[in-house]
């Protein structure tokens, strides 16, 4: 579920925002106990380990280029759900295929090309109602599919948009609707006559336009465990109408929806309705208030044992910010991993064959696999309820794996993954060679904090778990804003032969990124001296780092910004920066509106000092400013106010690689931003951490 907000306007006082979500049961306080005993039986297998849970709802830029490969390849992403979202789609185009719909189609195609082809192999579920524009922010006068029983325009929408997507040759799956059991997405009500008209029409048109494509649904917000009758009514209809989708999708975003229990509930509902088994997809999971490393690991451990085909993390700060649904965080303009990312990273090492475990003990879950090719057994551990204290994991059945314990000993490494943002790497809290002569070993772990996650690696004694990785320091580097660097290849070595190193970096100048193979490239977008650090990690988790400075000159001092009055056109939606109501009243909202050339959409940059300056509206002569000098991100509080020299009205223009500009506020260090990346006219702007990337809701083309 995405949090979609249409906030009230702010003048000089803070407003309120409606958060849309499932009603959540009050979270229980974190608990401490004497000890929790977990177990793994390496002699008892349960099928292939397929990385269920390594999927995402949006979290990429609209052009599909970000996040960088260094953050995606190590996770083995296998599922993605998107629908353009940012443009307003079919609704904005007045219910025909126009520029907004085409922009969303282009975004889907760009993401699909990247994620469905090597080195990736994700299933891409196209969210058709997002492409239509039913994203929770649609206008009040929206024409919904099949209004008054007329489905002709809805059928035209399916024919034209899906036809365009199919023509690309990319393999897409099609998700007909999103959370129709929540009124903000579907006002007529789930399982209503209009809903089933919409569903059946879409299904039949999809079968005509894309006969071999996978159709998925119903993507209900509520599970069969919460609303059994809703599911039984839906299943009864689609069975009788012959419109049962190829894959059954639902959302596990309650507090907390256990994937094991929910998948059993789904299969029971299918059986009771006389519908044959289908692959299951949790195409959104994990509630907004449980975004911690420990809970992420808990979900992954449960998904591994659930029987779901795939699962995708929900996105609560939707949708085109390249943060992989929040598992990346931005520091000084550079994306860096968090504890959530590392939980997904260690889980990605759970390859080979799943083995039986103790499952869930109290609120602590464990799953594990063994892989004779990679020569390791890996377990992932997480807690859904904030456990702190001692625990242990007993690995039984070691004697059944001669490749692992044939020498009589094994090496054990425990990664503690704290819930931190950013987090450069897990903390290795245990790394020892232990005797396996009895056929079992017990590994101690301690939940030092209430949101810890753990990865436990068991490898043959004398194997590479104690590897040493050495990164060659590249020395001090320099560059210029707006000029692409020639490319810096980071070099590293491993004490063990045959290891493949994966590279990551933190603190790079804005506009630069590092590939998983260690090549730093890009075009700097801001000047300054940056303290960069590069890390190389091998397949056992051993890593090494090197730190150096990178000095970027020129460009971010406001120089080069065109003089005179101009329209500032939002790059992501082609709307114009606007003084709401064309008023000269101090405190009036700065919003976005269809470009019309009026003086309330004409702004000039007036330099002050240090590269900063004022953005002044032509109609009023007042400054674009952050109300009340706030430093809070994500609150629509950008207004016009009288010129006063306050830091909240001082902005640093920073040019992007495509020639557009972002504006960084002197007081907060945040960037001028279209709230929620929405495309609705009249949306007041906010401030948000700078994305330092072209084509976003923070970039403005000068016209």
Whether 43 maps to a domain, the answer reads: no
Is 480 found in the same domain as 458?
A: no
Nearest to 404 by CA among 432, 435, 372, 378: 372
CA distance 594 to 575: 5
Q: Measured at the alpha carbon of residue 106, what is the angle toward residues 101 and 109, in degrees to the nearest 5?
A: 125
Is 477 found in the same domain as 459?
A: no
Whether 44 maps to a domain, the answer reads: no
What three-state secondary structure class fits 368? strand
What tokens does 348 get?
Answer: 């990605």
Which stretches of 73-180 are DSSP H helices?
A: 89-92, 99-115, 128-132, 152-166
Residue identified by tokens 């609209």 is 62
Is 318 found in the same domain as 233?
A: yes
Burial letters 326-347, b for 16+ CB under 10 A, else e: bbbbbebbbbbbbbbbbbbbbb
CA distance 623 to 618: 10
Is 184 found in the same domain as 135?
A: yes
Contact 355, 368 (CB under 8 A): yes
CB atoms within 10 A of CB 536: 24
Write out pLDDT tens, residues 683-699: 999 999 998 888 899 99
Element (H, E) at 459: strand 453-460
In the prediction, which pLDDT does 50 show? Answer: 95
Is 175 found in the same domain as 107?
A: yes
Residue 613, CA distances (Å) to 645, 652, 654, 663 in order: 9, 7, 12, 10
Q: What is the CATH number of the domain that holds 589?
A: 2.80.10.50
In the prediction, which pLDDT does 211 show? Answer: 95
Residue 585, CA distances (Å) to 61, 164, 598, 636, 672 in order: 36, 47, 16, 18, 21
Whether 48 maps to a domain, the answer reads: no
What three-state secondary structure class fits 148? helix
Which residue among 466, 489, 519 closes a domain?
466
Q: What is the CATH number of the domain that holds 206?
A: 3.20.20.80
Q: How many domains does the chain have?
A: 4
In the prediction, which pLDDT does 497 show? Answer: 66
Is 277 found in the same domain as 400?
A: no
Which residue among 292, 327, 362 closes a domain?
327
CA distance 377 to 180: 42
Torsion of the alpha carbons at 505, 508, 513 and 515, rounded to the nearest 10:
-30
Length of the chain measured in residues: 703
CA distance 72 to 214: 24
As averages over each run of 10 residues, the pLDDT of the chain (703 residues) reads 34 28 34 76 96 97 91 93 89 95 95 92 96 92 97 98 97 97 94 98 98 97 97 98 97 92 97 96 95 97 96 91 94 90 96 96 97 94 95 97 95 96 91 95 96 96 68 82 84 77 88 90 79 84 81 57 87 93 91 90 85 90 94 92 92 84 93 91 92 89 90
Query: Concatenated DSSP letters for 602-671?
Result: -EEEEE-STT-EEEEETTT-PEEEEGGG---TT---EEEE-----GGG-EEEEE-TTS-EEEEETTT--E
Q: Which residues pair with 443 in a beta bridge?
A: 393
* Peptide bond between residue 319 and the one before it cis (omega within 30 degrees of 0): yes
Residue identified by tokens 């995405």 is 2
Whether 3 maps to a domain, the answer reads: no
Phi (first) and psi of residue 101, to 5 degrees: -60, -40
Residue identified by tokens 């040019």 is 655
Whether 427 maps to a domain, the answer reads: yes
Query: Whole domain around residue 455: which residue ranges?
Result: 353-466
Is 111 found in the same domain as 244?
A: yes
In the prediction, which pLDDT does 1 show? Answer: 45
Is 309 found in the same domain as 234?
A: yes
Whether 368 maps to a domain, the answer reads: yes
What tokens does 486 get?
Answer: 């020639």
CA distance 278 to 370: 27
Is 516 found in the same domain as 442?
A: no
Which residue among 409, 431, 466 closes a domain?
466
In the prediction, which pLDDT does 256 show? Answer: 78
Is 283 found in the same domain as 143?
A: yes
What three-state secondary structure class fits 107? helix
Q: Which residues pair with 604 in a beta bridge?
A: 616
Is 231 found in the same domain as 147?
A: yes
Whether 176 maps to a domain, the answer reads: yes
Whether 560 maps to a domain, the answer reads: no
Is 244 found in the same domain as 230?
A: yes
Q: What is the CATH number of the domain that holds 486?
A: 2.60.40.10
Whole-angstrom Cα Rg for the chain:
26
């Amino acid at each position: 579920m995405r949090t979609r907000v249409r906030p009230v306007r702010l003048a000089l006082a803070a407003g309120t925002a409606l958060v849309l979500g499932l009603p959540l049961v009050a979270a229980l306080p974190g608990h401490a106990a004497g000890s929790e005993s977990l177990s793994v039986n390496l002699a008892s297998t349960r099928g292939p380990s397929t990385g269920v849970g390594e999927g995402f709802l949006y979290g990429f830029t609209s052009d599909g280029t970000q996040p960088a490969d260094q953050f995606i390849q190590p996770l083995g992403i296998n599922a993605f759900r998107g629908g353009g979202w940012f443009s307003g789609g079919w609704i904005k185009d007045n219910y025909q295929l126009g520029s907004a719909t085409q922009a969303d189609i282009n975004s889907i195609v760009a993401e699909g090309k990247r994620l469905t082809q090597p080195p990736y192999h994700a299933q891409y579920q196209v969210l058709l109602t997002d492409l239509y524009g039913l994203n929770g922010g649609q206008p009040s006068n929206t024409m919904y599919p099949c209004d008054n029983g007329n489905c002709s325009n809805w059928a035209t929408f399916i024919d034209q948009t899906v036809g365009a997507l199919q023509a690309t040759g990319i393999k897409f799956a099609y998700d007909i609707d999103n959370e129709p059991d929540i009124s903000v997405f579907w006002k007529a009500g789930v399982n209503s006559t209009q809903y089933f008209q919409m569903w059946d029409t879409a299904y039949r048109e999809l079968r005509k336009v894309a006969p071999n494509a996978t159709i998925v649904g119903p993507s209900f917000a509520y599970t069969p465990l919460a609303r059994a009758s809703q599911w039984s009514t839906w299943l009864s209809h689609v069975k009788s109408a012959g419109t049962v989708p190829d894959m059954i999708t639902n959302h596990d975003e309650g507090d907390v929806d256990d994937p094991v229990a929910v998948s059993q509930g789904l299969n029971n509902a299918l059986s009771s309705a006389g519908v044959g088994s289908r692959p299951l997809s949790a195409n959104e999971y994990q509630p907004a208030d449980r975004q911690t490393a420990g809970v992420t690991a808990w979900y992954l451990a449960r998904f591994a044992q659930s029987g779901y085909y795939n699962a995708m993390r929900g996105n609560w700060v939707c949708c085109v910010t390249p943060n992989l649904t929040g598992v990346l965080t931005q520091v000084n303009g550079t994306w860096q991993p968090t504890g959530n990312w590392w939980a997904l990273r260690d889980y990605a090492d759970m390859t080979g064959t799943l083995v039986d475990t103790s499952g869930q003990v109290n609120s602590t879950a464990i799953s594990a696999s063994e892989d004779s090719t990679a020569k390791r057994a890996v377990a992932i551990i997480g807690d859904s309820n904030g456990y702190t204290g001692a625990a242990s994991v007993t690995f039984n059945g070691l004697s059944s794996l001669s490749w692992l314990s044939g020498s009589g000993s094994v090496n054990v490494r425990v990664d503690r993954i704290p819930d931190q943002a950013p987090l450069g790497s897990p903390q290795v809290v245990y790394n020892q060679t232990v005797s396996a002569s009895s056929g079992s070993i017990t590994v101690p772990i301690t939940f030092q904090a209430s949101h810890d996650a753990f990865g436990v690696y068991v490898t043959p004694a004398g194997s590479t778990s104690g590897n040493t990785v050495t990164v060659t320091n590249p020395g001090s580097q320099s560059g210029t804003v707006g000029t692409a660097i020639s490319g810096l290849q980071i070099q590293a070595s491993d004490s063990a032969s045959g290891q493949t190193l994966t590279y990551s970096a933190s603190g790079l100048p804005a506009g630069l990124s590092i590939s998983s193979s260690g090549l730093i490239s890009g075009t700097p977008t801001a000047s300054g001296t940056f303290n960069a650090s590069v890390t190389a990690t091998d397949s056992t988790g051993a890593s090494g780092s090197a730190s150096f400075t990178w000095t970027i000159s020129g460009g971010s001092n406001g120089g080069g910004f065109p003089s005179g009055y101009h329209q500032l056109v939002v790059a992501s939606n082609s709307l114009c920066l606007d003084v709401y109501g064309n008023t000269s009243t101090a405190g009036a909202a700065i919003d976005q509106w269809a470009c019309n050339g009026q003086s309330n959409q004409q702004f000039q940059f007036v330099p002050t000092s240090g590269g900063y300056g004022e953005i002044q509206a032509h109609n009023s002569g007042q400054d674009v400013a952050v109300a009340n000098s706030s430093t809070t991100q994500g609150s629509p509080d950008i207004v016009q106010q009288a010129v006063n020299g306050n830091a909240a009205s001082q902005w640093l223009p920073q040019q992007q690689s495509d020639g557009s500009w972002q504006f960084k506020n002197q007081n907060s260090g945040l960037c001028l931003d279209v709230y929620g990346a929405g495309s609705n006219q009249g949306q007041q702007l906010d401030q948000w951490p700078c994305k330092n990337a072209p084509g976003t809701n923070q970039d403005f083309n000068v016209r």
